[in-house]
Structure 1
Amino acid sequence: MGIKSFMGRRAKPTKGSSENIKVSDYMSKNLTTFRADQSVLEVMETLIKKKISGGPVVNDKYELVGIISEGDCMKQISESRYYNQPMEDIKVEQHMAKNVETIDGNMNVFDAANKFLTSKHRRFPIVEHGKLVGQISQKDVLIAALKLKGQTWK
């Protein structure tokens, strides 16, 4: 399994500064998660119903095992049409990304913004002690930036 965690530099924060704003302060904790044995069709229905673009895949112990996205579902649609397979038979584990990059919940939000810029990811899961605890999206970083707009960013 290839889960890689990225931890940004840890500068000494000054009290009340934007350096003190951590990913864990803005991450989503109430996540829609998926299971590896679910059908991709179920995932597609959930993505549409909840208006989300993807989500983490966890096992019974709530350990992160992958990520499934709209793009992964699109590939599946194309393949099932080409091979004439019923979509109900295709499972998440066949199409999820398994090499998942995570980031540390203690990372500064602005370091996370830079991480989004240097990667092609729309979201990063946050794992603590092997368990999924949250997820930060590009939108979460924008929300943090708007809340801090009156401060001087260093």
Structure 2
Amino acid sequence: MGIKSFLGSRKKTQKDTPNIPIKVSDYMTRNLITFKSDQRIEQVIDAIIKNRISGAPVINDKNELIGVISEGDCIKQISESRYYNMPMDNDTVEKHMVKDVETIDGNMNIFDAANKFLASKRRRFPIIENGKLVGQISQKDILKAALALKGQNWKQ
């Protein structure tokens, strides 16, 4: 009797892997809700609630990023205005937005971006090209990318 192989049938390995998108720009959101620095905080709160977002970029008239405003920034404002018994009528985004904003390159690998999220504890990063805001990547976008790439070779 001959020697039998107990390894079972082997799948043929595919030498040509399909071109799978793994860049930040492939998964970022391009159609963004944005705010202007002179908008009132109450308008921001209303937009955050209506659009079910946790924050948004703040841009100037040239579509350049000048800051980010989040739910936390709005909550802090509400808390301070109630504590000091000050009306929120005249409070603008400029007074409460974060001005020193970290961004991500749209050409960055999606998994490098995931590591940047872990290191920075941020929920979103704006994407800038030629000085203009072109999109935003969120933690949820990273999760969507991971699901889309499930079962693929992630080392490309």
Aligned to 2:12: none
Q: How does 1:44-55 map to 2 (within 5 A)?
A: 44-55=45-56
Which residue of 2 is the match for residue 121 of structure 1?
Answer: 122
Q: Distance in 2 between matches of 1:92 and 1:140?
A: 26
Q: Which has the higher contact order (CA 8 A, sep 6+)?
A: 1
Give the TM-score normalised by structure 2.
0.86
Letter in 2 for 1:82: Y
1:70 matched to 2:74? The reply is no
Whole-Å Cα distance in 1 between the matches of residues 152 and 106 of structure 2? Answer: 22
Q: How far apart in 2 are the matches of 1:16 and 1:121? A: 32
Paired amino acid for 1:48: I
Distance between the aligned counterparts of 2:62 and 2:44, measured in 1?
Answer: 20
1:100 aligns to what? 101
Secondary structure class of the residue paired with 1:88: coil
Instruction: Evaluate the alpha carbon distance shift between residue 15 and residue 60 of structure 1 in structure 2; reply closer, same or farther with a 3 A threshold.
Output: farther
5 Å-filtered alignment, 1:1-150, equals 16=18, 21-150=22-151
Q: Which runs of 5+ in 1 are unaligned?
A: 1-13
1:60-101 deviations in Å (ceiling 9; x for gaps)? 001000000000001100111122221121110000000000
Q: Name the amino acid aligned to 2:30.
A: K
| One-letter amino acid matched to 2:122 | H
Relative to the length of structure 1, the TM-score reads 0.87
Report which of the two structures shows the higher radius of gyration computed on alpha carbons: 2
- How far the C-alpha of 1:15 sits from its partner, in A, is 6.5
How far apart, CA to CA, are the structure 2 residues paired with 1:113 and 1:15?
A: 23
- Structure 1 consecutive aligned stretches of length 4 or more whose deviation exceeds 6 Å: none
Q: CA deviation at 1:122?
A: 0.2
Distance 1:89 1:28 in 2: 31
Task: Specify every segment of 5 or more residues in structure 2 that has no aligned partner in the other structure, as ranges.
Answer: 1-15
Q: 2: distance between equivalents of 1:143 and 1:88?
A: 39
CA displacement at 1:17 relative to structure 2: 6.0
- Percent pairwise identity: 69
